[in-house]
Amino acid sequence: MKAVCVSSVNIHRGNLILVNENHPYQEEQDCSTLAPVGGNGISLFQCRRECMKNQIRMDRNATILLTALMEEIADWTKIVPVSGWRSREEQKSIYLDSIEKNGLAFTRRYVAKPGHSEHQTGLAIDLGLNQPNLDFIRPDFPYTGICQEFRSRAPLFGFIERYPAGKEAITGIGHEPWHFRYVGMPHAAIMQEMNFTLEEYIEFVKGFSMETGPFFYEKKGCIMLIHFIQLNDGAAKQVVVDPLMPYTLSGNNVDGVIVTQWRRN
């Protein structure tokens, strides 16, 4: 077996971090980890050299999976990226501008406060059906046609519809059919099957510690084992993993780290 050390710094990093009203984003996004979205022809080398203005970008791994999904169902002529990574300053500007134009009630429903927006993580993307007069705050992304095809296949590529209807009291954000969040596999598929928001999934996974045993999930001949490691006491811990099984670590941005291992059945 192999021992991996995790500490409080790991809580705030990874694909499964929960960013909402109660849990602000704790990191500052490094532009070198971002890549352009939408087939605009800008190289990763250019992206590393400077933080390009007016470019829609995401975390590099999320961009790769999003591109693969789009290549399966269509191209970027039918669905267009509307908003990806935002700096804290940009989020603040959008928030204040929305208050001025739309009022406080509307803004609280559809725009996260600076420091509390998933867009600052580089893991979120707003998409819209390509049509004239696309709304930046609430782009049209219907539950029909190419948009629904994207939505139904998104979990296979690690994406979830982050703010579904009927879950507003849990997420704290109004229904946003256009907002998708990269959480990775198998987590996106599990959330879809169990009708979980990210908030609900974070709580669900806490029930599977190293002591009580993992959550088992099987998909297409692959078995995934998911554990939760609590770290809210500030002390580092040793996580024992099977060296023959690939694994990933992700903080939940609350109180611990989620360990995911997988093997072929």
Widest CA span in the chain: 58
Q: Residues 176, 193, 200, 203: which is the catalytic one?
A: 176
DSSP E strands in the chain: the ranges are 2-6, 34-36, 57-59, 79-83, 124-129, 159-163, 176-182, 215-219, 222-230, 237-241, 247-251, 256-264
Place of tokens 């084992």: 225
Q: What is the distance between the alpha carbons of residues 73 and 148, in angstroms, rounded to a whole number?
A: 11
Cβ atoms of residues 197 and 162 within 8 Å: yes
Count Cβ atoms below 10 Å from residue 237 Cβ, excluding itself: 17
| Residue 193 is a catalytic residue | no
Q: Which residues are catalytic?
A: 176
